[in-house]
Structure 1
Amino acid sequence: MLAMQYRFVLPADYDMAIIRQRIRERGHLLDGFPHLEWKAYLWSAHDVRQPDTLNTYAPLYLWQDNEGINQFLASPGFQALCADFGRPQIDIWSVWHCSGSAEMAAAAHCHQQTLPIAPGQSLQALRQQEQALATALHRQGALCVLSAFDPHQWRLLRLSAWPASPDDRQLETSTACYQIGYVASKRG
């Protein structure tokens, strides 16, 4: 499996209702897309009370294989996205673990971390740590947990999806918090 993500950081005064409407109108179009496990339409809004928050549109895809990625990137839908926002840089990750895919559609909020993998770090040990962390996050109420790595830039991707925004959870500064506008899936 492969995870794929692109991200658009929008101006602080951008009306995020435009993004939410785009998701409502077009999100379902990827239901049943070949080789797609799910696509989470992630977005965040700038909050003047928290200066480090951004207006962001950052969809994350879980693909069964690279054929799905190839079909999607050649599709009219992706071409429309590029026409509206410009061609994005796309990150592709090799998935180590994804649990709770069937529950992803019930998620409303997610936390995402992208962390460097230190030189000399054992990938096997890191993979085992991620598996243990996934188990712990599920016990805390996460619906879906994904971990993957990028061997090109030696980065770890960790995503946990939740039924609601967990206000009382202590988050590391490297954690991006997103709302989930819709989850397209192979089941449609």
Structure 2
Amino acid sequence: MHAMQYELTLPADYDTGVIRARVARVGHLLDHWAGLGLKAYLLRERGVHGSPVSQYAPFYLWNTVEGMNSFLWGAGFQGLSDDFGRPTVRQWTGLAYEEGAAGAAPARFAVRRRRPLPDGGPVSAGVQEAADEARRLAREDGAVLAAAAVDTSRWETVQLSLWEHDAPKADGELFQVLHLSTPGRAALPTGRQW
């Protein structure tokens, strides 16, 4: 599993209805994308749920590198780049994926948390902690799914959890889920991935 995300931080007075309309218009295009586990179309709005910024930040879990590359080098990502400029794309290696207690429910909110792995200690302890946290989050009431991944260029972990309600039992940045494409969700490997 590979995780990927880019963020478009929008001007303070940006009409986020433009993003909502865009997702309503094109979100379905990845509903059957080969190699994609899932794509969560994420939005946070300045002043809503404590967010200091408005930001469009889709998050992907890929089953195959070929699927990811096909998207990045293809028309979908080029269309986004044409409209907003080419964003930096973050990538993480998968550590864990868990279906949630409310796995069949629609995902309405997401929580993302990025944390540096401490210097000096064994890396294995930090990545095991991230995998354990994904398992714990997935067991919480209202959790649709949880995933953890690591960026070894920054020695940073990322947690993504999706929730059916706006009171998730997770710490981090809260986003609205505008659409969820899940063509290969059932094929995402569950549990710890090493």
With normalisation by structure 1, the TM-score equals: 0.89
Q: What is the match of residue 85 of structure 1?
A: 84
Instruction: Kindly indicate whether the alpha-carbon contact (under 8 Å) linking 2:111 and 2:170 is maintained by their aligned counterparts in 1.
Output: no
1:43 counterpart = 2:43: yes
1:65 counterpart = 2:64: yes
Distance, in Å, in 1 between the alignment partners of 2:47 and 2:58 is: 20
Q: What is the match of residue 166 of structure 1?
A: 167
Deviation track 1:20-45 (CA, whole Å, cap 9, x = no partner) reads 11111110001111100010000011
Distance, in Å, in 1 between the alignment partners of 2:170 and 2:35 is: 36
Distance, in Å, in 1 between the alignment partners of 2:122 and 2:164 is: 33
Amino acid at match of 2:87: P
Instruction: Kindly indicate whether the alpha-carbon contact (under 8 Å) linking 1:6 and 1:59 is maintained by their aligned counterparts in 2.
Output: yes
Structure 1, 104-113 or 156-165: larger mean CA deviation: 104-113
Paired residues for 1:1-188 under 5 Å: 1-47=1-47, 50=50, 52-100=51-99, 103=103, 106-141=106-141, 142-166=143-167, 171=171, 175-186=172-183
Distance, in Å, in 2 between the alignment partners of 1:7 and 1:125 is: 29
In the alignment, structure 2 segments of 5+ residues that lack a partner are: 186-194
Instruction: Kindly indicate whether the alpha-carbon contact (under 8 Å) linking 1:104 and 1:144 is maintained by their aligned counterparts in 2.
Output: no
- Percent sequence identity is 35
Structure 1, 127-136 or 152-161: larger mean CA deviation: 127-136
Shift of 1:152: 0.6
Change (3 A) 1:10 1:109: same
Instruction: Kindly indicate whether the alpha-carbon contact (under 8 Å) linking 1:104 and 1:161 is maintained by their aligned counterparts in 2.
Output: no
Distance, in Å, in 2 between the alignment partners of 1:126 and 1:5 is: 21
Instruction: Kindly indicate whether the alpha-carbon contact (under 8 Å) linking 1:34 and 1:68 is maintained by their aligned counterparts in 2.
Output: yes
Secondary structure at the aligned position of 2:87 is classed as coil
Distance, in Å, in 2 between the alignment partners of 1:187 and 1:157 is: 21
In the alignment, structure 1 segments of 5+ residues that lack a partner are: none
Secondary structure at the aligned position of 2:174 is classed as strand
Change (3 A) 1:170 1:62: closer
Distance, in Å, in 2 between the alignment partners of 1:83 and 1:19 is: 15
Instruction: Kindly indicate whether the alpha-carbon contact (under 8 Å) linking 1:23 and 1:181 is maintained by their aligned counterparts in 2.
Output: yes
Structure 1, 4-13 or 111-120: larger mean CA deviation: 111-120
Change (3 A) 1:138 1:170: closer
Shift of 1:161: 1.0
Shift of 1:123: 2.5
Instruction: Kindly indicate whether the alpha-carbon contact (under 8 Å) linking 2:105 and 2:164 is maintained by their aligned counterparts in 1.
Output: no
Deviation track 1:104-135 (CA, whole Å, cap 9, x = no partner) reads 87211011111111223323222322233223
Amino acid at match of 1:64: N
Tell me the number of residue pairs that the alignment of Structure 1 and Structure 2 aligns. 183
Instruction: Kindly indicate whether the alpha-carbon contact (under 8 Å) linking 1:112 and 1:158 is maintained by their aligned counterparts in 2.
Output: yes
Distance, in Å, in 2 between the alignment partners of 1:105 and 1:87 is: 33
